[in-house]
Amino acid sequence: MPHIALQISGRPDAELTRRAAATVAELTQRVLGKDANLIATVVEYVPREQWIIAGKPLSEHTTGRNAFQLDISVTDETNTKAEKAQFLKEAFAALSEVIGDVNTVSYIYVIDARAAAYGYGGQTQEFRHQHR
């Protein structure tokens, strides 16, 4: 039941949004083993002038003029360190290809949320686990 928040530098682009969300969802299913029906994704755009790396906006960089920040919340202890490392590696490569000209200072954060403090539909994951 991951919640995914993806920020991409630049102006809103419906096609890029669709492709980026699909890419991350596929990786989330394949690498982290999450149910496709429970993946919720929000994609937001940040103007390059407002995305600062090494003290200057992306609009002033000569290479790596795009960037992204990917946060994915998963229930703690449902993925191994190796799975999360593989997800980071594959997500960076895939989003770099989808977005293009990506600055290496683009971050991915797999957030291990405590089951008692995380859920959907008004129920925690801990409740779901105890009442399976």
What pLDDT was estimated at residue 33? 98
At 19-56, the pLDDT tens digits run: 999 999 999 999 999 999 999 999 999 999 999 999 99
Are 24 and 95 in contact, with CB atoms under 8 Å apart?
yes
At 107-129, the pLDDT tens digits run: 999 999 999 999 999 999 999 98
Helix axes 14-32, 81-99, angle to 10 degrees: 160
CATH of the domain at 18: 3.30.429.10
Residue with tokens 């980026």: 20
What's the total number of domains in the chain? 1
What pLDDT was estimated at residue 132? 87
pTM (global) more than 0.85: yes
Domain hosting 40: range is 3-130
